[in-house]
Structure 1
Amino acid sequence: MGFSKEGKARRVLRLIKTLFFLITMLISLLLFSPPVLLSIADSLLPFALLSASLSPSSLSLHSLSSHLTHYHFRQSLIDIPLISLIRSAIILCVYSFCDGPSLSRGPYLGVATVCSVPSLVFVSIKASLFGFDDSGVDRGRYGRAMEVGLFLCSMVLGMGHVVVAYRTSCRERRKLLVYRIDIEAVSACKNGFTRYQKNSPRKQSEVRK
């Protein structure tokens, strides 16, 4: 009884830590750069949820090769965080190499869409075929909840990449539009001032005559 209570307490503590991590990452996304922090969240949160659904030693570097060797589409979960990691790394690299005009014209939005849509399709098919069973010590209700949370997290973050890329593209397009209007206004003022300087001596001579 003491061992089961201690195990439940550890699971509850692990769940609280995971929820706290999710909340802090969401707050950070609202306060700082959304594309960068969304990529960071997409890289870390699926691994955190997978670690919470399994035993603490199941995601060590020593056992990672074992997970990949014994991979099964309907039973393994290691592919979901790996897909999220690859997806976020590609999108972050493209975003870091894009400047304002590139962000507004679509390379970042296009790459985010190309990387997110196939991953969403893959995770959706896997979720429909995955076996959410109760076998094993760590695969009870808590384990199933974390597994469902892992699927939902990957899908939400995948859609988040597209939404954030679209909003970033629109924001950069508005910035370029405002910048273009400012440049045109400055050019018009300069042209008017130059025209005034050219015409003012002639007008002064006419006044003197």
Structure 2
Amino acid sequence: MRKSRLSLLWEKLFPQGTPWWEVVNKVFIALIIPGIALLTYISTQDPSITVDNYLALKIEVTINGAYRGQVPAEGSRKFELYNDEPVDIEWNIIRQNNTEGHPVGDMMGGSFQAVDINKRLPITNVNTNKEFFFFPVLSNKMNFACEIYVNYGKPSQKYVGFLNPQTKNVYTGYYKWIEASNVALVCKNGKLYFWGDVKGDRVADLNVQAKSGISILTLFKE
């Protein structure tokens, strides 16, 4: 009868007549020691929290009430901790200013309570309160300027600023999604262009990317 590979390996490691204590010792070294080494490695690592920022803007992070720094847009950062206890973490976006020096977009942030050490926290456009935000990025291929509005014609309407002719990838800010949100351009040619829902009329979808909340919107030549 042909022996299995496992049987052949066993006979090679433990020839006939090998004392039982030598067998136990080899098994201990092969199985137990690596496990102990792994546990020792884990236990000696400095406690930390890693924040993964999927958003298009930088965020600032507070841990247990103390400001700890910023995480770049679409980047990650590891924050060292002072002990092995769970921590409370808060974050907020750092809004951009318009040409008049005023912050653009809604305030946006969230919090995590009693987070265990050595965890990774994803920061996305859906915060811990289950609020959904979107971030319009606009391009204008026309030869006239336009005023940018979010939720045009609604009580929550916000003026964003100007979109100059022949410009690409103009960042705005994060805005909380409401029922039938829209982005509208009131242009110098006297026309209204929009994505989403304006007074019940839908011309183009307002597509929002998962995690980042980015919505790419381009005004093409007619």
The TM tier, using the shorter chain, reads under 0.3
Q: From the two aligned structures, give the one with the greater helix fraction.
A: 1
- TM-score of the two chains, using structure 1 as the length reference: 0.24
Q: From the two aligned structures, give the one with the greater strand fraction.
A: 2
- TM-score of the two chains, using structure 2 as the length reference: 0.23
Taking CA–CA contacts closer than 8 Å with sequence separation of 6 or more, which of the two structures ends up with the larger relative contact order? 1
